[in-house]
Amino acid sequence: MKIKAIQEEIIDEFAMFEDWEERYQYMIDLGKTLPLIDTQYKTEDHIIKGCQSKVWVHADLEGDKVVFTADSDAIITKGIIAILIRVFSNQQPQTIIEANTKFIDDIGLKEHLSPTRANGLVSMIKQIKMYAIAYQTQLN
């Protein structure tokens, strides 16, 4: 599935909820479905810098697609990274690099996060794109 289609799916899913309490609960539930990172990658090298809580992200290149795994020690943050992994995992590096993240604004996520969590969200996206750039360089 293409990134844009996944983003539209997420926008539709968030639109089903009346308020942000329900949306937060949905994010927590999404966090429970996150493909967990192998414990060998729960190291300082894989921690997202700029996050209030601990978030670990690992990426592998499988064929011509980047596959992400992640974890967090905070339930809301785990839900946020689960959304990002859903959008960007199993995509080609160039597609990840070129993808916009407007869907985050469309679901109202950034405006409902504390400033430190919003900064963490930006850091997560940046790290995902950095992995994509590294793998794109390998493919060229």
Residues with Cβ within 8 Å of residue 45, at least 6 apart in sequence:
none
Considering the candidates 3, 51, 81, 85, report the single residue annotated as catalytic.
51
Name the residue among 72, 52, 138, 132 with its Cα closest to residue 99. Answer: 132
Instruction: Quote the pTM value.
Output: 0.94
Active site residue 50: no
> How does DSSP classify residue 91?
B
Task: Dump pLDDT digits (tens) for 104-137.
Answer: 999 999 889 888 888 899 999 999 999 999 999 9
CATH 3.20.20.70 assigned to domain 3-139? The reply is no
Kindly report the CA angle at 37 between 55 and 126, in degrees rounded to 5?
Answer: 45
Report whether 71 contacts 79 (CB < 8 A): no
